Amino acid sequence: MDRLEAMSVIIAVTETGSISAASRRLKSPVATVSRKVAELESRLNAQLFQRTSRRMTLTDAGRSYIDACKRIIEQVDDAEREVTGEYRIPKGELAVTTPWGLGHTHLLPLAVEFLEAYPDISLRLVLTDRIVNTTEENIDIAIRVGGLPDSSMIATRIGSIRIVVCASPSYLEARGLPKQLTDLSQHDCITIDDHTMPSVWKFVRGRRTRVAPIRSRLCVNTSEAAVLAAIEGAGLARVMSYKMDAAKRAGKLAIVLEEFEPEPLPVHIIYTPRKPMPLKLRAFLNWMTPRLKARLTLA
C-alpha cells in the first residue's frame, strides 16, 4: 500500500465528507477510494470513520490519525514546492472561481494582464454562477458576491455591487423618467427568469421591503441579454451594476430610481490560509486585489 496515497485519500474523504465527493476531488473511481479507506483501516486495525447514509465523520482514532497525516502531507508538499522553486519565485498553477458575469467583465481581462506579468504562473478560471466547493474542486481562490458564511477562510473585501434599474436615454426621453416605484407599472420592463414572466420587483433596504408591480413586456434568461435589450430601447431593466457599467460610461444606459436601491452587495476575494504562502498565491493576491478594487469601486 502506498501510505502517502492512502493518507491523501482519507484527508480527501474527511474534507469532503463522503466517498463519492472524495472520488470527484481525486478524480478516482468511487470503488478505488472506498477500497483504499478499507485497506488502511484494516492495516491500522482501527475504524477511522463513522458511516451514515449521507456523510462520513471521523472517529476519535480517526481524528488523531488525520492530524498526523495532514502534517506529513504538508511537509511533503512543502518539500516538493521548495525543490520546484515555488517558494523562491512565483510559479505553478492557480485555480480561481468567480461568478460568470463578474469573471467575463472584470477578472478575465485582468487575468490576461496578470499572465503577461508572471510568465511562470498558469491560471485555471472557473466562471460559474453556482457556489463552487473550493476544497472538493481544488480551487485556490474564490471571488464571492454577497454575504459570506462563517468559515476558516481568509476574506478580503474588494468592492460592492449595486442592483440598479436602468434604461436607454432614448427610451426615457420617449416614455418619461420614473420617479416613484408606482411608476413602474406604467413602463415596459425587461425581466429575467427562466420559467415565468415576473409581475413584481422587490426592493429591500434594511428591514423594509417594498413590492412594486411591473409590466413585463420582455422576459429573458440572462442579465446580459436584459442589458442589451435595454440598450436597444426595449424598456427598464434591473441588473447588477457591473453588468451595465460599460454601457453607462458610453452613454447608452442611465440609472433611474437610485433612492430605492437595495443595500449594495459586498464582493470578497477568499482563500484558505497556508503557511508558508506559496509565492504564486501571494503574487496573484497582491497584483489582482488592488485592480479588482479599482474596477469594483462603488459608483
Convert the pLDDT of each residue in 204-213 to its tens digit: 877 888 899 9
Residue 198 sits in the same domain as residue 126: no
CATH number of the domain where residue 75 is located: 1.10.10.10
Q: Flag whether pLDDT at 101 surpasses 60.
A: yes
Same-domain status, 170 and 248: yes
Burial class (CB in 10 A: 0-12, 13-18, 19+), 83: exposed
3-state secondary structure of 210: strand
Q: How many Cα atoms within 13 Å fall on the side-chain side of residue 193?
A: 14
272/157 same-domain check: yes
Q: How many CB atoms lie within 10 A of CB 177?
A: 12
CATH of the domain at 189: 3.40.190.10
252 and 191 in one domain? yes
Final residue in a domain of this structure, among 65, 84, 103: 84
Which pTM value belongs to this model? 0.67
Q: What is the pLDDT confidence band of residue 86, given thresholds at 50, 70 and 90?
A: low
pLDDT number for residue 44: 86
What's the rounded Cα separation, in Å, for the pair 180 and 186?
A: 11
Geometric angle at alpha carbon 118, from 138 and 88, rounded to 5°: 80
169 and 256 share one domain: yes
Exposure string for 221-260, b = 16+ CB within 10 A, e = fewer: eebbebbbbbbebbbbbbbbbbbbbebeeeebbbebbeeb
C-alpha cell, 53: 447514509
Residue 74 and residue 274 in contact, taking contact as beta carbons nearer than 8 Å: no
Structural domains of the chain, count: 3
Same domain, 171 and 244: yes
Same domain, 213 and 235: yes
Q: Mean pLDDT across the stretch 31-35? A: 89
Phi, psi at 257, each rounded to 5°: 55, 40
pLDDT of the residue at 268? 95
C-alpha grid cell, residue 234: 426595449
Task: List, for residues 232-262, the tens digit of each pLDDT value.
Answer: 999 999 999 989 988 999 999 999 999 999 9
Q: Which of 84, 116, 151 is the last residue of a domain?
A: 84
The domain of 29 spans 3-84
**pLDDT surpassing 90 at residue 83:** no
Distance CA 195, CA 61 (A): 50
What average pLDDT score do residues 43-65 get?
Answer: 84
What is residue 133's predicted lDDT score, i.e. its pLDDT? 84
When pLDDT is averaged across residues 138-160 and rounded to a whole number, the result is: 89
User: Which residues is 142 bridged to in the sheet?
Assistant: 97, 270
Please give the mean pLDDT across all residues of the chain. 88
246 and 274 within one domain: no
Answer yes or no: do 174 and 245 share one domain.
yes
Residues 174 and 217 placed together within one structural domain of the fold: yes
Closest of 81, 85, 95, 121 to residue 25, by C-alpha: 95
Residues 152 and 125 in one domain: yes
The residue among 84, 101, 132 that closes a domain is: 84
Residue 92's CB: how many other CB atoms inside 10 A? 17
Amino acid letter at 56?
M
Mean pLDDT over residues 216-232, rounded?
A: 94
Alpha-carbon distances, residue 190 vs 170, 179, 228, 264 (angstroms): 16, 18, 10, 21
Strand partners, 279: none
Domain shared by 96 and 220, yes or no: no
181-199 average pLDDT score? 90
